[in-house]
Chain A
Amino acid sequence: MHSGVFHTSYEADMGLRPMPAQRVRLALFVAAVLIFPFFASNYGLNLANQVAIATVGAIGLNILTGYTGQISLGQGAFMAVGAYSAGLLTLRLGLPWGVSIGLACVITAAVGVFFGLPSLRLKGLYLAIATLAAQVIVEWIITHWTALTGGTEALVIPAPELMGERLNTDFRFYWVGVTAAAGTALFAANLFRSRVGRAFVAIRDQDIAASAMGVNVFHYKLLAFATSSFFVGLSGALLAYYRTIVTWERFTLETSILYLAMIIVGGLGTIVGSFLGAVFLTLLPVLIGSAGQALQDAAPGVAGLVPHIQQAAFGLVIIVFLIFEPRGLAKIWRNVKDYFHVWPFAYRR
């Protein structure tokens, strides 16, 4: 029985997973992730891959918006930059997929820094509007620079190969997706134990105080844009290789909104929240869709309404979370843990 957590050394306080219970949960989760593909159907694996890619993108956006407090509506544009650079590097220059994914991340980071420049002068809603404009402009460039991107035509790229195996099935791609998601999560979790990550958080909480304490706001804001865009680009590039088709329709303003919704529903400024939000918003339309199919015979009228219900549910979920649990699924998960942690008492740590 616990009455709370009291660390007695700085090492324990700074540790990534200081509690035995945390380590047990992590081990169980890793085991589940490793076993999952051997039992899951193809469809389940397809969803898992979508979740993995979305997790990478959501963590990327969370680094910028959740941790550094810079609202970005340009997520779709940055993912597009990642996807198109990865695709074009493979198609035009014939680079191997690992190299082009790496280069795509770097290119996206550079583009992110460029569109992050207004953040040096603008805050809050002005920055949101500036990134909205960036989104529209990048979309327009992609659909109109036909010589480079093929315009509204889709880019078809070859499936990646690893040790002679083509990663063209959900089962094979799963390992790439999971590795990327785990690596991103580990990097981000460690980032916020370092000086750089703490500086990001300081800028979010009070930028003037941060600069008074020796944080170079100019430098760290751009670094936040670069780090965030790097992972957003990674998620775009992974999506390109997973689908092996790149079209601009996947990277519209709706994508930006979807990812913002993920980190809000999941929990701003938490890694686990990025993952929970990605799971929740990837599965929500799927669940509504299958509920509609189940009702097909009983109520044929309902099935026709499914796309609209999906859209309305998406909006409602955002509103309900903001009103009733603005700290998202991560907070709910934490409440559950706390409840069992101090059970049978009702107080919180």
Chain B
Amino acid sequence: MEVFLQLTVSGLSNGMVYALAAVGFVVIYKASEVINFAQGELLLFGAYLSFASIAQIGLPWGVGVALTLVLAVAIGLAIERLVLRPLIGEPVISMIMVTIGLSGVLRATVNAIWGPRPRTFPQFLPSGGVEIAGVVLGADRLIVIPTAAVIFVLLGLFFRYTRDGIAMRAVADDQQAALSMGISIPRIFAVAWALAAVSAAVGGMMLGNIVGLSPNISAIGLRVFPVVILGGLDSIAGAVIGGAVIGLLEAYTGGYIGNGLNLVVPFIVLILVLMVRPYGLFGKPIIERV
């Protein structure tokens, strides 16, 4: 029981980080049908930016987090303007490869600035153990779960009540109709990238708190794929639930079976979902079929 609870908390907290990365991925995909292979690197960048502003410059952690988020918005906007916008309307392979190229540039930048060795992350979430029902659980991991939930609720409110949020839903629904209603598509793409960068940065900071900081954490970018395919490529709720499911699945296979199986199980799930139900749990069942 103790192991089960610990695995559940660790799986859920990892899953929430996956979900934060996946939500950004889904927002970009919904708005512009671009598959973003650089999501893991956005997360990496967020983590290192907060490391720089809190540990290296010495800002208080609240200010450091705010600064990180502002910088993340700037990076998202810059990427969209410089890299993605010239390629609007290009074939799928160009979109995939350009984000792969982008991921290389971002990772190289992080490595060049902060070096490849792991760093001590300035933990601002309370560390230490909390005893619940006789089981000791990590406080930082316990906090990650509701924090991520709050962010998802905020995102939901954004899509429901703000002008940009509603415009994004309109674009996702029917780009032509949205265009004829006077919605600026490039603006929507820019907002999508800014949102993706912010949610990835939040994920990166959480990851820094719970597992530490090294350039390897960009590997999360690949975990995003099982998550979004399971949840449905165009569903934000799906990304959250997919994140939780994949996180738990990894934790349980890692904890009970081991042998590195936790690394490959998400991708086996991915293949199965693609075979049986390619639009995932919550995606729209329109998918390009042969």
Residue-wise interface mask of A (124-150) relative to B, using a CB-CB cutoff of 8 A (1 in contact, 0 not): 111011101110110010011000000
Partner of A319 from B101, B274, B278 at Cβ < 8 Å? B101
CA distance A247 to B225 in the complex (A): 26
CA distance A125 to B34 in the complex (A): 9
Interface centre among A134, A207, A257 (most CB of B within 10 A): A257
Residue-wise interface mask of A (293-331) relative to B, using a CB-CB cutoff of 8 A (1 in contact, 0 not): 000000000000101110110111111001100100000
10 interchain residue pairs of minimum CB distance:
A315-B104, A318-B101, A312-B108, A315-B105, A311-B108, A308-B112, A140-B264, A133-B267, A315-B101, A319-B101
Can you name 13 A-B pairs with beta carbons within 8 Å? A71-B93, A120-B290, A125-B35, A125-B96, A129-B225, A129-B274, A130-B271, A134-B271, A144-B259, A221-B290, A312-B105, A315-B108, A323-B83
A137 touches B290 (CB 8 A): no
A121 touches B225 (CB 8 A): no
B222 touches A132 (CB 8 A): yes
For B271, the chain A residues whose CB sits under 8 A away are: 118, 130, 133-134, 137
For A264, the chain B residues whose CB sits under 8 A away are: 93-94, 97
Interface centre among A133, A143, A253, A312 (most CB of B within 10 A): A133
- Among residues of B, the one whose C-beta sits closest to the C-beta of A313 is B108
- Flag whether B109 is at the interface (Cβ < 8 A): yes
User: In chain A, residues 176-227, which have Cβ atoms closer than 8 Å to a Cβ of chain B?
Assistant: 207, 217, 221
For A122, the chain B residues whose CB sits under 8 A away are: 274, 278, 287-290
Instruction: Check A315/B102 contact, CB under 8 A, given A128-B92, A133-B267.
Output: yes
Determine how close the nearest CB of chain A comes to the CB of B45; give it in whole angstroms.
14
- Flag whether B139 is at the interface (Cβ < 8 A): no
For B62, the chain A residues whose CB sits under 8 A away are: none
- Flag whether B98 is at the interface (Cβ < 8 A): yes
User: In chain B, residues 220-257, which have Cβ atoms closer than 8 Å to a Cβ of chain A?
Assistant: 222, 225-226, 229
- Flag whether B177 is at the interface (Cβ < 8 A): no
Determine how close the nearest CB of chain B comes to the CB of A268; give it in whole angstroms.
7
- Flag whether A52 is at the interface (Cβ < 8 A): no
A123 touches B290 (CB 8 A): yes
CA distance A312 to B92 in the complex (A): 23
B97 touches A261 (CB 8 A): yes
Query: A122-B289, A132-B222 provided; 10 other pairs, C-beta below 8 A?
Result: A121-B278, A121-B290, A123-B288, A129-B225, A130-B274, A136-B263, A207-B290, A260-B93, A268-B93, A308-B109
User: In chain B, residues 91-120, which have Cβ atoms closer than 8 Å to a Cβ of chain A?
Assistant: 92-94, 96-98, 100-109, 111-112
Determine how close the nearest CB of chain B comes to the CB of A87; give it in whole angstroms.
23
User: In chain B, residues 269-290, which have Cβ atoms closer than 8 Å to a Cβ of chain A?
Assistant: 270-271, 274-275, 278, 287-290
Question: How many residues of B sit at the interface, in one of the four size bands?
Answer: 35 or more
- Flag whether B131 is at the interface (Cβ < 8 A): no
For B134, the chain A residues whose CB sits under 8 A away are: none
- Among residues of B, the one whose C-beta sits closest to the C-beta of A305 is B112
- Flag whether A228 is at the interface (Cβ < 8 A): no
A-binding residues in B (CB < 8 A): 35, 83, 86-87, 90, 92-94, 96-98, 100-109, 111-112, 222, 225-226, 229, 259-260, 263-264, 267-268, 270-271, 274-275, 278, 287-290
For B108, the chain A residues whose CB sits under 8 A away are: 308-309, 311-312, 315
- Flag whether A65 is at the interface (Cβ < 8 A): yes
A260 touches B97 (CB 8 A): yes
A257 touches B100 (CB 8 A): yes
For A307, the chain B residues whose CB sits under 8 A away are: 111
- Among residues of A, the one whose C-beta sits closest to the C-beta of B269 is A133
Determine how close the nearest CB of chain B comes to the CB of A323; give it in whole angstroms.
5
A124 touches B92 (CB 8 A): yes
For A305, the chain B residues whose CB sits under 8 A away are: 112
User: In chain A, residues 99-118, which have Cβ atoms closer than 8 Å to a Cβ of chain B?
Assistant: 118
B274 touches A318 (CB 8 A): no
For A124, the chain B residues whose CB sits under 8 A away are: 92, 288
Instruction: Check A317/B111 contact, CB under 8 A, given A71-B93, A118-B275, A323-B86.
Output: no
CA distance A130 to B275 in the complex (A): 9
For A118, the chain B residues whose CB sits under 8 A away are: 271, 274-275
A65 touches B86 (CB 8 A): no
Determine how close the nearest CB of chain B comes to the CB of A79; give it in whole angstroms.
18
